[in-house]
Amino acid sequence: MFCINRTAIVVKPGQRFLDWLHAADPTSAHLTLKDLQDDPDVYLIRQCQSEKEIRRSLAKVCRQIFEEQLDGWYREPSSWPERRDLRAFDLWFEWSAHSIVNDLCTGPLLREDL
């Protein structure tokens, strides 16, 4: 086992996200917040030592995460909210930061561009 030099950000859609999804995509009416939060995405950012550092790093990538989340549920950018900054991110998502990331696997880490 070894620790990697990253901070993990676990991101779950919040109520505002669900409300948007229901309005944008009528076929999603059966989905609940639990459905959206059941298998959260994890993003790795640079290693941060404080809450202030985490917020500063997250501010730089929150638009990218925001768009990834929106696109994962409804692929029509014209329906996406215009504002996708950190303030909006805090309103649309529940997230937590984890400063210790341990790798329990013995195989090499592989990078795959999406």
Does residue 109 belong to any structural domain of this protein?
Answer: no
Profile the chain (114 residues) by mean pLDDT over runs of 10 residues.
Answer: 94 98 97 98 97 98 98 97 98 97 90 83
Does residue 71 belong to any structural domain of this protein?
Answer: yes
Tally of domains in the chain: 1
Domain of residue 75 covers: 2-103
pLDDT at 1: 85
Does residue 89 belong to any structural domain of this protein?
Answer: yes
Does residue 108 belong to any structural domain of this protein?
Answer: no
Does residue 53 belong to any structural domain of this protein?
Answer: yes
CB atoms within 10 A of CB 66: 22
Does residue 114 belong to any structural domain of this protein?
Answer: no
Compute the Cα dihedral for 43, 47, 51, 53 and give only its sign: negative
DSSP, res 48: -
pLDDT at 66: 98
pLDDT at 114: 74
Does residue 72 belong to any structural domain of this protein?
Answer: yes
Does residue 76 belong to any structural domain of this protein?
Answer: yes
pLDDT at 14: 98
